Amino acid sequence: MPLTLPQSSAPLQQSLSRQLLGLGACRAHSHSPTTHTRTLALPSAPLGQTHKGASSTLLRSLRLSSTARCFALSALTMAPPPPATGTVDTHAIETNRPIVISGPSGAGKSTILKRLFEEFPDKFGFSISHTTRSPRASEKHGREYHFVTKEEFLDLVDQNGFIEHAQFGGNHYGTSIKAVEDIAEQGRICILDIEMEGVKQVAMHPTFPRPRFLFLSPPSEEVLEQRLRGRASDKEEAIQKRLKQSKVEMEFAKSPEAPHDKIVVNDDLDKAYQEVREFIIGKNA
């Protein structure tokens, strides 16, 4: 599911989007108390227009600032919510296979994606997540999120219209197939920054073609804790929650059911970035 944090994922997504793109708008979501889903799109070919995308909140969960990170390039910002359904434009998705990036909060996902977006400033777009929570004063329907009613959201769930969805803090969050598909149809590769439960959902989705899965790992628990504290964005309780969740995510990554095609250990940032870059846009991508 898009990420959802005990705290809201929207702030995270927006924050990340802004950080990543240096823009004033973005979107994404996650469904975990600490993270959420960030959906980004990398065009596989030069684009003539802008887009937006990105979310992961639950993953969006551990940090209240990493909600899906989506970035909106104004053109799509005002678009109405797509009529997502369980049907998929398989050709577009398989031609521009989305990338799912996951890893513990603090592993460095935002840092590395920011670099990637800076290196390819004209190639990114982002998808917009759905949520049943009320928009905040500064938020616009179709920009930060597609704000829908609970009934509309659950209808879409019944149609298998989400590649992942979750409930946090009493609200539903989800990344629709249509939102990701739109990016693929524009010749872009959508990058989804998703927490563990969302990864499982995407991997098991009945109709959505399998994306490529990348797991970003911290070099050790000790280093992860240092980085979370160094980020100075969380209170002690939130740090402890992220560290606890990181153990679960690391165990999952080592398990047979983990769908990851590539695991990158983020020790030296330059080296990790090159590995991620190669996986996403390298000649064997």
Ligand X SMILES: Nc1ncnc2c1ncn2[C@@H]1O[C@H](COP(=O)(O)OP(=O)(O)OP(=O)(O)O)[C@@H](O)[C@H]1O
How far, in Å, CA of 53 to CA of 239, rounded?
27
How far, in Å, CA of 170 to CA of 113, rounded?
29
Our finding on whether 121 is near ligand X (CB under 6 A) is no
Closest CA to 278 of 127, 128, 116: 116
Q: Which is nearer to ligand X, 186 or 201 (CB)?
A: 201
Our finding on whether 230 is near ligand X (CB under 6 A) is yes
Instruction: Single out the segment in contact with ligand X by CB under 6 A; choices: 106-114, 150-158, 159-167, 199-207.
Output: 106-114
Our finding on whether 198 is near ligand X (CB under 6 A) is no
Give the pairing of strands 162-168 and 125-126.
unpaired
- Considering only 29, 31, 63, 212, the residue that binds ligand X (CB under 6 A) is 63
Q: Which is nearer to ligand X, 200 or 227 (CB)?
A: 227
Tell me which amino acid residue 49 is. Q
Q: Which is nearer to ligand X, 96 or 110 (CB)?
A: 110
Cβ 160 to ligand X shortest distance, Å: 27
Please name the residue ranges forming H helices in 64-107: 74-77, 90-95
Q: What is the 3-state secondary structure (H, E, C) of 120-141?
A: CCCCCEECCCEECCCCCCCCCE
Our finding on whether 67 is near ligand X (CB under 6 A) is no
How far, in Å, CA of 257 to CA of 253, rounded?
8
Measured CA angle at 221 (ends 60, 55), to 5 deg: 15
Our finding on whether 108 is near ligand X (CB under 6 A) is yes
Our finding on whether 227 is near ligand X (CB under 6 A) is yes
* Element housing 201 (H / E): helix 196-204
Our finding on whether 111 is near ligand X (CB under 6 A) is yes
Residues 23-42 that bind ligand X (CB under 6 A): 35
Question: How is residue 144 annotated by DSSP?
Answer: T
Q: Which is nearer to ligand X, 63 or 212 (CB)?
A: 63
Footprint on this chain of ligand X (rule: CB under 6 A): 35, 59, 62-63, 66, 103, 105-111, 227, 230-231, 266, 269, 272
